Amino acid sequence: MSTAEAMDKAAEADLDLVKISPNAVPPVCKLMDYGKYKFEQTKRDKEAKKNQRVVEIKEVRMSPGIDVNDFNVKVRNAQRFLADGNRVKVAVRFRGREMAHTDIGKRLLEKFAEDCAEVATMDKEPKLDGRHMTMFLSCKQNKESKNKDNKK
């Protein structure tokens, strides 16, 4: 129908004429209450934003000469962060002559990942960056739920 007819119908029904796909030939329009539509759209956006969760990156720092009990405390803290759904950055800081023994730090990080294996997966392998060797862990639950969503 012509634009004038459509405008008359919209005025008759006390609604707005809204272009749905203006690039189509002929353009597709719809009769609707545009104010109500915009209100519902903002309501949906707010609801989606409320359900959204921002994943934080928590950091656990150690040195290569860390003792067993201190190491276990760091592992427990990391497991707690992972249980909350956050990612964990595990860093080993080398000072002075410790730089000559970066293999100790690498073994330490691998043991850390092994101890957290039941709740976490390793995102990034241990990597030396200046005087710090870092590794990233993320929660297994998040990975599994994402994989399930992708399969559906």
Query: What is the pLDDT averaged over residues 23-49?
Result: 87
Name the pLDDT band for 149 (thresholds 50, 70, 90). Answer: very low
For 94-132, the pLDDT digits (tens) are 998 888 988 999 999 999 988 888 888 888 888 888 899
State how beta strands 57-62 and 87-93 pair.
parallel
Residue 84 is predicted with a pLDDT of 85
| SS3 category, 54 | coil
Distance CA 44, CA 23 (A): 27
Distance of CA 35 to the CA centre of its chain: 33
In the chain, % of residues over pLDDT 90? 28
Higher pLDDT, 96 or 53: 96
Query: What is the pLDDT averaged over residues 7-31?
Result: 85
The residue type of 59 is E
Residue-range domain boundaries for the chain: 3-51, 57-150
* 16 CB-near residues (< 8 Å, 6+ apart): 10, 31, 32, 33, 34
How deeply is 133 buried, as exposed, middle or buried, from its count of CB atoms within 10 A (0-12, 13-18, 19+)? buried
For domain 3-51, give the CATH number: 3.10.20.80
Name the pLDDT band for 10 (thresholds 50, 70, 90). Answer: confident
- Cβ proximity of 136 and 122 under 8 Å: yes
Residue 13 is predicted with a pLDDT of 86
Query: What is the pLDDT averaged over residues 17-26?
Result: 83
Q: Which fold has domain 57-150?
A: Translation Initiation Factor IF3 (3.30.110)
pTM greater than the 0.85 cutoff: no
For the cut 90, the answer to whether the pLDDT of residue 70 exceeds it is yes
| Residue 126 preceded by cis peptide, ω within 30 | no
53: number of Cβ within 10 Å: 9
Higher pLDDT, 146 or 72: 72
